[in-house]
Amino acid sequence: MGKDVIVACDFSSAEAVYSFLDKFTGRKPFVKIGMELFYAEGPDIVRRIKARGHRIFLDLKLHDIPNTVKKAMAVLSGLDVDICNLHAAGATAMMEAALEGLTRPDGTRPLLIAVTQLTSTDQQSMERDLLIREPLDEVVMHYAATAKRAGLDGVVCSPLEAEKVHRRCGADFLTVTPGIRFADGDRGDQRRVMTPADAKAAGSDYIVVGRPVTAAADPVAAYERCVAEFVDR
């Protein structure tokens, strides 16, 4: 798979997401469906968006015992999503079980990527609440390497970490990177951000872009600007 722009469809209803996607009459963006939309509308929203011709990253971040995750992943695989994810904190047995559950009888499966440490977790909360005392960036790299060893395809990370992840886990281990803003755009609540062009230079494989596209006055133009900077240039 080549580089692509994934639009985070952080909407809370089918009507809202369809009225957004209806604007895209040309190129159909790769979309990310997260917990909000999935829990509001159920699995049917995935089938319907897929039927409209979009590729889908289903961002549900599974984390449970291996058997439960394996069975849940088999259901997601049946929804024909392109990428799904889990928490690397579920450990190797859970990640291996997830891959087993995802693999269809014909041997194909969606890509599976791992969340390492959430960006909402900082050094202090990791030490205090999780009793993990190593430096945060080493924990992130260790989780990425563990995911790679378990057979996963990549990780969600900051574009600032993409190069380091590739050095540790190999050039073909995918880095899917949120925290993207245009040089002249509003940062919102994201603190460590990169432009699409800089994320490309940093080696990101996929950028995940939400509000810079969904809240733009002209979402299609904003999406095409991301593609021009990240894919075409």
Q: Which residues bind ligand C5P (CB under 6 A)?
A: 8, 10, 34, 119, 156, 178-180, 188, 190, 208-212
Helix ranges (DSSP H) in the chain: 14-21, 35-41, 44-51, 66-78, 91-102, 123-130, 136-149, 162-169, 196-202, 211-214, 219-227
We find the least distance from the C-beta atom of residue 70 to ligand C5P, in angstroms, to be 24
We find the least distance from the C-beta atom of residue 119 to ligand C5P, in angstroms, to be 4
Residue of 3, 61, 71, 200 with catalytic role = 61
**3-state SS class at 31:** strand
We find the least distance from the C-beta atom of residue 36 to ligand C5P, in angstroms, to be 9
| Torsion angles phi and psi, residue 180, rounded to 5 | -105, 130
Which residues, other chains included, contact 183 with Cβ-Cβ below 8 Å and sequence gap of 6+? 195
Contact 230, 215 (CB under 8 A): no
We find the least distance from the C-beta atom of residue 103 to ligand C5P, in angstroms, to be 25
Distance CA 44, CA 78 (A): 12
Active site residue 61: yes
Active centre residues (catalytic):
61
